[in-house]
Amino acid sequence: MNRIVRVLLFAGLALWSLTAQAQSTRLRAANKQFDNFSYVTAVRMYEEFLRTDKKKDPVETREALTKLGYSYRKLQDTRNAERVYGELVKNYNDLESEMYLYYAQALAANGKYRDSQKMYSRYGEQQSEDLRGRKFTVSYMDVNRFYRDSSSYRVHNIPINSRQADFSPMFYKGGLVFVSSRDESGVIRRVFSWNQTPFLDLYFHPDTNQLKVPNIERRPSMAMLGGGNTEAKPIQAMEETTAAEEQQPLTKAQKFSRTLNTKYHEGPVTFTKDQSFIVFTRNNGAKGKSGKSQDGVRKLKLYSAVNKNGKWTDVQDLPFNSAEYSVGHPAFTPDNTRMYFVSDMPGGYGGTDVYVVEFNNGQWGTPVNMGKEINTEGNEMFPYVDENGNLYFASDGHEGLGGLDIFYAELKDGVAYKGVENVGAPINSEKDDFGLITDASRTTGYFSSNRKKGITDDDIYSFKRTCKQLNILVYDAKTNMPLENADVRILRNGASQDLRLTNVEGRAELCVESNAEYEFKAVKEGFAMNSVRFSTLTQSSKPVMNVSIYLERSENTIVKGVVKTEVNQKPASGVKVTLRNEKDKSEQTVVTGPDGGYEFAMKPNAPYTLTAQKDQYATKKTKYGKQPKKATNKVVTDSLGIYGVGDVFQLKNIYYDLNKFFIRPDAARELDRVVSLLKEYPQMKIEIRSHTDARASDGYNIRLSENRARAALDYIVSRGITPNRLVARGYGESEIVNGCVDGVNCTENEHQQNRRTEFKILEVQ
């Protein structure tokens, strides 16, 4: 595998002690190549030494086998690594514990899970503090769990791949930027001594539409079944393109940037959301001693650049780079406020760990290790953050099918609160799988793998998840007739998802995910709510599945609605909504999903209180009186608006006469609304923010705006609000909203738009 970081620097070399006696000429020559990281040449020379030296010293033989196995390991030649480590385990009883680990990893990469399990067990006996021994021993008792969802995916080798390594794609302007060691043009051909392949550069393919998985029917040979065979592997036919696909015209990939590509390795990249700012991986480019670490290796660094007029300029190295350890594999969050990356800096958990760093207005914070939920004693690398802010990464330390597997972690406040999940076959295989990019629901995307031949054949693959259809059927319990226009609330693993509506046949359709627990709640006017649970923890061979919900007619009232944020009127997810029966004190609770929706049933003759709660938001309460037993309106539709810390609201009717700061009658009416809000939420504190137009000096406008803010504060206090809940601040002309700055001719109406007052929520409860 010829990928930057994995090949170069994120794998420390073990130190073997040498005997004082003179070594044979062949062994000395092989060791020299080994010490220079020239593993291809070292392999040839060690094999020649072991094959031809008839009077080999036993110590030298063991040293040669140990370094030969390690060289094959570095070249990702798992079959030869298995052969050499097998010979070591067979002939020596006092091996270092790492030999059993490396042997176990090679066996797993070759699909021999039972044998690998035994070696992991032996490793765990010697290294009890390393959890990999115990975890993989248990995991390989049954690998079928890695194949649960395999029939839902189709994987294809895409036509931009070359004969050399191609990997680590990233979305960019409708195309893909990726890393490649494809042959260079020109008279001089530079190769990397590690594996005799060309250096890595960044390439660009402009149109992902040419790379999409075609919509063809699944053939029987494309099945993906684990069955009862613990040595199960993906069926190769599923990963190959058809002849028809290969004939499609394809735009040729081109070098991404001659500014960013250098004579050294360039590796994985990430872009800000507007794609005008890039962070990319590159070898330390400093010349002389400053370019190498104390052990003589050019470590990896992260660099940034800015796109100006279509060219990448202003290349800067990031402040947490070091000549003594590597940082690489960057991944921005969707809001550009944080960036994940990989490093082998001191203080980590294993070989390479995932770190996160704050990014604010072009300034970088201090890197923070993602912790033991993400990082292991092995190697974690190639992070990617999807549209929902959740993390994908590759690891050989979490339980997987062999080599690097791709994992998923749902993040909450930057923490993997549900642990990590192996995404399973066929995206993962017994070889190295890494560098995944995808949409929010993991429906389509791309990833890298060396599954085809191993060693240095990294290719980029596309994937598409097909629908595992579930029909939710809603019936009248008495007549067995289907119920049209019934709401079906979908909950997955206890979290609210979305709302579906049944058609004339009483059916709502859903593509279910594997390894999930579902609950479906059916709601319809004139009927009592009912629900049913459904699990995909066990795999069904049926292409389409059904589940039925029967509704009884009822006099109960149903209350349904949507929670929205007041600042922008968008649905609010993650809000705890509770309906409390004030008569018998019973409660019903849901947590809103992306649509912000909720549904409850209310019994007659009881008052109810509806409460919406979320951290950093003011608690909203709505009361309902007793519902009559035979109410004419069986469904109460309501919406709840919630106020959050940091929300800024413009008081649209508060304007001031030029150079004045007294409260006009129209402004007083608007401020009365703020007074009402503060009385409804007695724990709320706000900042009153006043602004001026640009006419007059900056100092004058600051003083004028401060007086205006103070006037608004005094008015609110006069209406019964305590002053310690209010802060008044003037911003002068620093936040003009319509471009009417100094030197720009504007109408009086345009200037008045800037003489405005806002309030910002500082604290809620």
Is the distance from CB of 281 to CB of 330 less than 8 angstroms? yes
11 assigned to some structural domain: no
Residues shown for the chain:
765
Is the distance from CB of 606 to CB of 582 less than 8 angstroms? yes
Residues 340 and 223 reside in one and the same domain: yes
172 assigned to some structural domain: yes
Is the distance from CB of 739 to CB of 701 less than 8 angstroms? no
Q: Output the pLDDT for position 22.
A: 52
Is the distance from CB of 300 to CB of 268 less than 8 angstroms? no
Task: Output the domain CATH number for residue 712.
Answer: 3.30.1330.60
Residues 188 and 216 reside in one and the same domain: yes
Last residue of one domain, picked from the residues 426, 441, 464: 464
Q: Give the CA distances from residue 662 to residues 609, 710, 714, 716, 733, in Å, rounded to whole numbers and listed in that order.
A: 41, 10, 11, 13, 18
Is the distance from CB of 709 to CB of 686 less than 8 angstroms? no
Question: Residue 452 sits in which domain range?
Answer: 150-464
Residues 184 and 301 reside in one and the same domain: yes
Nearest 5°: the CA angle 759, 763, 764 is 105
The full 3-state SS of 302-324, as one line of letters, equals EEEEEEECCEEEEEEECCCCCCC
| DSSP 8-state code for residue 537 | S
Residues 287 and 325 reside in one and the same domain: yes
Quote the CA–CA distance of 670 and 664 in Å, as a whole number.
10
Is the distance from CB of 478 to CB of 518 less than 8 angstroms? no
| Token representation of residue 730 | 């003037």
Beta strands in 410-458 (DSSP E): 421-422, 433-438, 444-449
Residue the block writes with tokens 């909450």: 412
Q: For 455, left (φ over 0), alpha (ψ -120 to 50), or beta?
A: left
668 assigned to some structural domain: yes
Is the distance from CB of 65 to CB of 50 less than 8 angstroms? yes
Please name which of 396, 400, 403, 345 lies closest in space to residue 370, comparing C-alpha atoms.
Answer: 345
Q: Output the pLDDT for position 243.
A: 37
Q: How many domains does the chain have?
A: 5
Task: Output the domain CATH number for residue 497.
Answer: 2.60.40.1120
Pairing relationship of beta strands 469-476 and 544-551 according to DSSP bridges: parallel
Residues of the chain with pLDDT under 70: 1-23, 53-55, 183-197, 213-250, 286-291, 296, 453-456, 539-541, 629-633, 653-662
Residues 69 and 131 reside in one and the same domain: yes
Residues 437 and 336 reside in one and the same domain: yes
Task: Output the domain CATH number for residue 320.
Answer: 2.120.10.30
Is the distance from CB of 318 to CB of 301 less than 8 angstroms? yes
- Residues 6+ positions from 311 with CB-CB distance below 8 Å: 257, 259
Is the distance from CB of 434 to CB of 392 less than 8 angstroms? no
Q: Is 327 exposed, middle or buried (0-12, 13-18, 19+ CB in 10 A)?
A: buried
Q: For residue 63, how far is the Cα from the chain centroid?
A: 43
Please name which of 401, 408, 457, 448 lies closest in space to residue 429, comparing C-alpha atoms.
Answer: 401
Q: Is 290 exposed, middle or buried (0-12, 13-18, 19+ CB in 10 A)?
A: exposed
| Token representation of residue 19 | 């005997």
Beta strands in 95-188 (DSSP E): 153-157, 166-172, 175-180
Please name which of 305, 269, 250 lies closest in space to residue 169, comparing C-alpha atoms.
Answer: 269
Nearest 5°: the CA angle 511, 512, 513 is 125
Task: Output the domain CATH number for residue 609.
Answer: 2.60.40.10
Mean pLDDT, the chain, whole residue set:
85
Residues 543 and 592 reside in one and the same domain: no
Q: Give the CA distances from residue 102 to residues 18, 300, 325, 380, 663, in Å, rounded to whole numbers and listed in that order.
A: 21, 25, 23, 17, 77
Is the distance from CB of 327 to CB of 267 less than 8 angstroms? no
Residues 597 and 638 reside in one and the same domain: yes
Task: Output the domain CATH number for residue 123.
Answer: 1.25.40.10
Last residue of one domain, picked from the residues 499, 519, 552: 552
Q: For residue 265, how far is the Cα from the chain centroid?
A: 26
Is the distance from CB of 419 to CB of 411 less than 8 angstroms? no
The continuous run of DSSP H or E covering 333 comes out as none
In the chain the first and final C-alpha atoms are separated, in Å, by 54
Largest CA distance in the chain: 106
- Residues 6+ positions from 136 with CB-CB distance below 8 Å: 104, 108, 116, 117, 120, 399
Residue the block writes with tokens 């709320």: 684
Residue the block writes with tokens 């494809």: 182
Residues 259 and 343 reside in one and the same domain: yes
Residue the block writes with tokens 């790379």: 211
Rounded-to-5 percentages of helix, strand, coil across the chain: 20, 30, 45
Model confidence pLDDT, tens digit, residues 523-555: 998 899 999 999 987 766 677 899 999 999 987
Last residue of one domain, picked from the residues 141, 174, 208: 141
308 assigned to some structural domain: yes
How many C-alpha atoms does 593 have within 13 Å on its Cβ side? 13
| Token representation of residue 162 | 């070359």
Q: Output the pLDDT for position 495.
A: 84
Residues 687 and 588 reside in one and the same domain: no
DSSP assignment of 364-387 equals: E---EE--TTT--SSBEEEEEE-T
Quote the CA–CA distance of 743 and 755 in Å, as a whole number.
17
16 assigned to some structural domain: no
Nearest 5°: the CA angle 560, 564, 569 is 130
Residues 317 and 193 reside in one and the same domain: yes
Q: Give the CA distances from residue 21 to residues 25, 54, 61, 637, 745, in Å, rounded to whole numbers and listed in that order.
A: 12, 18, 14, 88, 90
72 assigned to some structural domain: yes
610 assigned to some structural domain: yes
Residues 623 and 705 reside in one and the same domain: no
Q: Output the pLDDT for position 37.
A: 85
Nearest 5°: the CA angle 277, 281, 285 is 110
616 assigned to some structural domain: yes
